């Protein structure tokens, strides 16, 4: 477990050296999960909420794309409507 955290922080530090434009979004998540996230950021030196969320989202998207056997395509419109997408 400790090696994974050290590797994660090494990757995070190398990523921070690059200058990237960042976007902002909000999401509602389970209180228990939110508390675990805050605890991790508090107790892991160098870990930020942003880096934790970015890494987690990247991992989940890679898993989705692996299951699809193809990258997720670009959406046709730049803006997303709030809430769930309507089918049909």
pLDDT digits (tens, 9 = 90+) for 30-51: 999 999 999 999 999 999 999 9
The one-character DSSP state at 46 is: T
Specify the pLDDT at position 87: 65
Cβ neighbors of 37 (< 8 A, separation 6 or more) are: 29, 49, 52
pLDDT digits (tens, 9 = 90+) for 61-84: 999 999 999 999 888 876 777 776
Residue 55: pLDDT over 70: yes
**Is residue 4 very low, low, confident or very high in pLDDT (cuts 50, 70, 90)?**
confident
Cβ neighbors of 15 (< 8 A, separation 6 or more) are: 51
Specify the pLDDT at position 74: 86
Cβ neighbors of 60 (< 8 A, separation 6 or more) are: none
């Amino acid at each position: 477990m400790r090696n994974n955290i050290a590797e994660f922080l090494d990757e995070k530090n190398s990523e921070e050296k690059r200058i990237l434009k960042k976007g902002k979004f909000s999401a509602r998540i389970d209180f228990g999960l939110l508390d675990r996230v805050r605890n991790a950021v508090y107790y892991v030196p160098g870990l930020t909420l942003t880096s934790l969320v970015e890494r987690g989202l990247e991992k989940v998207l890679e898993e989705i794309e692996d299951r699809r056997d193809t990258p997720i395509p670009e959406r046709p419109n730049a803006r997303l409507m709030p809430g769930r997408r309507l089918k049909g």
